[in-house]
Structure 1
Amino acid sequence: MNAAGLFVFALLVSWCSTAVIRCHAARLGLIQIPNHRSSHVQPTPQGGGIGMVVAGTAIGLYLGAGQGIFWWSLINLSVLIALVGLLDDIWQFSSRLRFSIQVPVFIALVAACAPLRPLPLGGDITIEGYVLYALTVLAGVWWLNLFNFMDGLDGYAGVQALFMLMAAVVLSAVHSPSSVDVPIWLLALALASATLGFLFVNWPPARIFMGDVGSTYLAFVIFGVALDTIMQGWMTYASWLVLSSVFVVDATLTLLRRMKRGERWLQAHRSHAYQRLSRRFGKHSVVTKGLVALNLLWIGPLAYGCQRLSHVAWIFILMAYGPLIYAAIRIGAGRSDAS
């Protein structure tokens, strides 16, 4: 099956599976009831991310012949992460239980990727070895949870995942045209297609949410794709740092300000910058479309700059993060829900 066939297959599988979940959500216990901390007002089916899991896993198995330990670790561990997310959607696990599963999963994934490419800090200074392993595991766990935190508006997490995956596809192909025949490139393309299939029913006003099963699965596989593209030399740590900047800034700044006030920072809230914007504009679609525009017009070109001018990547990182931090502070990311 060629790239076009994989794209169509993943899209159809995701869209059809999501439709099935939507029809049986009540029976499966996958109805999200709004509360005072929600950004929606109507009971809505969740768990639509199962469609992306089915499509991504099927493609992973199809492409897996002859692949090594990292490939099979990524596919198998992503299913485990998705299963935990699904059970969490139904029964609401404690944060301690979720972390007790996530940490060893990321340790296993990073170990399977060994040896990691050294992380350059400028000049002759690099981070490598066990320090880099530890930082990568911590980054993975934080990325998984922050992506889940940012899944709070119709279409919001979906368009971010679609953007990051397609950016990886394009940037990798530009840097190394032969990458289009490599399984990890095809997996990224197929998962982007599966995400698009889900967005058909998640675009504002959403008819179903992806749930933790979808958000944690997407975050985990995106992290795996990032690791592999870095190891292949197609992309850099800096370019991925830029591609993730919108979510990283909002989630991290919100977390730090809530921790500073002594709040229970893992408790659900509505103080992210994107949540404040949705209340200010009165609709999800404005914020989601704004994310699309921001990524395409600003973040994407900066990530490309990191690729082309890697020796001055720090300039592009500052250009991405500086304005985002300023904007998030002005919007009120992390301020008390009552303020």
Structure 2
Amino acid sequence: MASGLVVCLIAGLLSFAATWLVRRHASRLGLVQAPNVRSSHSVPTPGGGGLGIVLGGAVATLYALPAAPVPVVTALVASLALAAVGFWDDRAPLHPGLRLLAQAALWLLVVLASGALAPLAPAAGIPVLLLLAGLVLAGVYWINLFNFMDGIDGLAGSQAVFMLLGAAALALAGGATGGEAAGLWWLAGIAAATLGFLLLNWPPATIFMGDVGSTWLGFVLAALALLTVSWGWLSAWQWLILGAAFLTDASVTLGRRLLRRERVFEAHRRHAYQALARRWRSHRRVTLLFIAIDVAWLLPLAAWAGGAGWPAAALAYAPLVALALLAGAGAPEPGS
């Protein structure tokens, strides 16, 4: 336990220091983000601060190597490669097709190395190739969804911390201990790295995560979900509930835009969280609302889902869909 706490401390301090350095040298690095059509900020602000999360999270991942060497090494290498793509994109935007191709290829490597297909395919009752295709599509969707939800101060970072610590707590409650401790500290260490970044990203933020951080976090969360489900620590229903706040907002927004036959790949500010931030004129209030929903509503239901399965997920999502619609997810901006 002591070594795990030390790793968390190192991950958090390294993340904070790296984020502070990126903020200080953002202009030289070409990482100052000017407001654009998707922005919820009005002044140029340093980006790329998620590099600190990547560095701190890499330390935590190295500590987890004994848990499952091949899957962990593959996840580390693939996530660092994706972080490099994200950092490049933060400095000089890449073509969306190239980003998607890189995400799909790197995520495919993680899925194949995880060893999850053999146990999950019979359990799901579907052919291995169909499961593989579904996992790749789901992973790429989640990575991009997480990136899209990184639009106001503190939101994506606090969501990641909740999902990581929530998953670790549920795994512990389910009996994951002993030799599995290194894997549990992996989740806690990445949460600590994210908290180090959040100290500078909490509203009012002085630096943003950027694609280097948001795509890396989305990728690693997906990898951890896949591995912990295949190891029997958590169920897929539990992970779906832990990520429900982001999944609902992004999916309802996408669905409404598709129904309007809009160009869904164009940048926009139509998520529920963005509409609320404009209405309330506060990033802090919206971020705190998401945290409250996560802790007070979703975490208890995720614990129940360990035995209940899909009924718990249905109960978790139903009011969130209604709230997203009421908040204006996918609706045109006033005056547009």
Shorter-chain TM-score: what band? over 0.9
Offset from partner CA, 1:218-271 (integer Å, 9 cap, x none)? 111111111111111110010001111111111111112222223221221110
What residue in structure 2 maps to residue 12 of structure 1?
Answer: 13
Counterparts of 1:48-87 in structure 2, within 5 Å, are: 48-64=49-65, 67-87=68-88
Bigger shift: 52-61 or 222-231? 52-61
Q: What is the distance in 1 between the residues matched to 2:116 and 2:189?
A: 27
Maintained 8 Å contact 2:116/2:227: no
What residue in structure 1 maps to residue 184 of structure 2?
Answer: 185
What residue in structure 2 maps to residue 112 of structure 1?
Answer: 113
Offset from partner CA, 1:30-87 (integer Å, 9 cap, x none)? 0010134310111100100000111111232344368432111100000011110100
Identity %: 42
Shift of 1:102: 1.1
CA distance 1:115–1:291, shift in 2 (3 Å): closer
The one of 301, 304, 318 aligned to 1:322: 318
Maintained 8 Å contact 1:119/1:237: no
Shift of 1:194: 0.5
**TM-score scaled by length of structure 1:** 0.94
Please tell me whether residue 285 in structure 1 is matched to residue 284 in structure 2: yes
Maintained 8 Å contact 1:179/1:185: no
Maintained 8 Å contact 2:249/2:329: yes
Which amino acid in the other structure matches residue 284 of structure 2? S
SS class of match (1:127): coil
Bigger shift: 104-113 or 274-283? 104-113
Bigger shift: 59-68 or 201-210? 59-68
Shift of 1:183: 2.8
The number of residues matched between the two structures is: 333
What residue in structure 1 maps to residue 153 of structure 2?
Answer: 154
Shift of 1:111: 0.8
CA distance 1:235–1:23, shift in 2 (3 Å): same
Counterparts of 1:1-339 in structure 2, within 5 Å, are: 2-64=3-65, 67-116=68-117, 117-118=119-120, 126-178=125-177, 181-307=180-306, 309=307, 312-338=308-334
Maintained 8 Å contact 1:118/1:128: no
Q: What is the distance in 1 between the residues matched to 2:102 and 2:114?
A: 19
Shift of 1:130: 1.8
SS class of match (2:125): strand
CA distance 1:179–1:198, shift in 2 (3 Å): farther
Q: Cα RMSD between the aligned structures?
A: 1.8
Q: What is the distance in 2 between the residues matched to 1:43 and 1:115?
A: 43
Q: What is the distance in 1 between the residues matched to 2:126 and 2:303?
A: 23
Q: What is the distance in 2 between the residues matched to 1:317 and 1:141?
A: 21
Q: What is the distance in 2 between the residues matched to 1:136 and 1:273?
A: 27
Maintained 8 Å contact 1:163/1:295: yes
CA distance 1:323–1:6, shift in 2 (3 Å): same
Shift of 1:177: 4.0
Maintained 8 Å contact 1:14/1:197: yes
Bigger shift: 65-74 or 145-154? 65-74
CA distance 1:262–1:190, shift in 2 (3 Å): same
Shift of 1:140: 0.3
CA distance 1:175–1:66, shift in 2 (3 Å): closer
Maintained 8 Å contact 1:173/1:180: no
**TM-score scaled by length of structure 2:** 0.95
Offset from partner CA, 1:264-305 (integer Å, 9 cap, x none)? 212211100000000111110000000111100000000000
Unaligned runs of 5+ in 1: none
Which amino acid in the other structure matches residue 333 of structure 1? A
